[in-house]
A and B are shown apart, each in its own frame.
Chain A
Amino acid sequence: MPALPQPLATILENPEVHIGGTDATIDLNLGRAFLNEILAARPPDTPVEELLLDPEAGNLVNLHLQVQAPVVGNVRRKITLRPGPAVSFPDQPWLQFDITDGFKLFDKPIIKLMQRQIADKLPRGVELTSDHLRLHVPALLTSAGHQKLVPLIKELRLTSQPNQLVVRLRISA
């Protein structure tokens, strides 16, 4: 894990003492080119050969994906995702994306058949079924060593508009 800058590490040691009284909402409008620059910077050893995001109107995001999958070989799909409701702790820890389109005839039965193997391969906190992809935000933050951030996040929500993914984050300490 990369070392955090000292002020940030100090905040995380005791958020209430160092930033208690903070209540701020951040809207990050991430343009399509920027998003794909982030995805292009993924580690070179991932089995994903192509990974592109194309946010569009109506809160829908297209994910262009090409992977080397076991048994079936090289698979290329354009999957459409709809970001779900806001994450808020502790009641709603999942950041969910419903898969609304893009799977071909046999994709769903294969995914259902291989559900256990898929779950074993995914990092803890990431869940993929034939209907949705969801991320357990506290589990992901904890495995990254940032569990003290979890109670500070009062709202985390993703929405899509043409060529932009909007991340809304409300932090309160």
Chain B
Amino acid sequence: MHPVQKHLFDTNFKDLAGSKIEGTIAISDELINMGIMDFINSLKSGAGSDAPKEPAAAPASAQSIPDPKALLSLLDVETLKFRSGEGKAMIDLKVSLKS
């Protein structure tokens, strides 16, 4: 893992506290479909793996990424609205990292 990424994980994103994003993000249908296929392919490659099951029981590994639930608890979500446009999905958002 890159040292910068590791620092963020180790410090629970404390050094980005107060960061925020506000506005509208538009994503084309093509991009969404590409993401869906990527996701399915990643699930398939995970399920088909012959890797031994035991390493999965080592959650404290230095390579592991933070628990998504714990990451979500760091966010203040003031606005998160989905709407669909022509050939696009639009997300209106106002989200910040808790100080």
Residue numbers of A with Cβ under 8 A of B are 6-7, 10-11, 17-34, 37-38, 40-41, 164, 170, 173
- Within 8 Å by CB of A23, from B23, B27, B34, lies B23
Alpha-carbon distance between A6 and B23 when the two chains are bound, in angstroms = 24
The answer on a CB contact under 8 Å between B20 and A26 is yes
Chain B at the A interface: SS class? mixed
Q: Interface-forming stretch among B7-15, B47-55, B61-69, B70-78? A: B7-15
- Within 8 Å by CB of A29, from B3, B17, B88, B90, lies B17
The answer on a CB contact under 8 Å between A24 and B23 is yes
The answer on a CB contact under 8 Å between A37 and B7 is yes
The answer on a CB contact under 8 Å between A23 and B15 is no
The answer on a CB contact under 8 Å between A33 and B22 is no
The answer on a CB contact under 8 Å between A27 and B7 is no
Let me know if B80 is at the binding interface, CB within 8 A. no
For A172, the closest partner residue in chain B by CB is: B23
For B93, the closest partner residue in chain A by CB is: A24
The answer on a CB contact under 8 Å between A33 and B7 is yes
The answer on a CB contact under 8 Å between A24 and B22 is yes
- Within 8 Å by CB of B24, from A22, A30, A31, A40, lies A22
Residue numbers of B with Cβ under 8 A of A are 2-4, 7-8, 11, 14-28, 30-31, 34-35, 38, 85, 88, 90, 93, 97
Question: Shortest 5 CB-CB distances between A and B: which pairs?
Answer: A24-B23, A31-B15, A34-B15, A21-B26, A29-B18
The answer on a CB contact under 8 Å between B38 and A6 is yes
Which residues of the partner chain B approach A21 to less than 8 Å between Cβ atoms?
24, 26, 85, 88, 90
- Within 8 Å by CB of B34, from A7, A33, A170, lies A7
Known: A10-B30, A41-B4. 19 other contacts (CB 8 A): A6-B34, A6-B38, A17-B28, A17-B30, A19-B28, A21-B90, A22-B23, A24-B21, A24-B93, A27-B20, A30-B16, A34-B7, A34-B11, A34-B16, A37-B3, A37-B4, A37-B7, A38-B4, A164-B18
Alpha-carbon distance between A10 and B33 when the two chains are bound, in angstroms = 12
Alpha-carbon distance between A11 and B34 when the two chains are bound, in angstroms = 11
The answer on a CB contact under 8 Å between A28 and B38 is no
- Within 8 Å by CB of A10, from B18, B26, B31, B90, lies B31
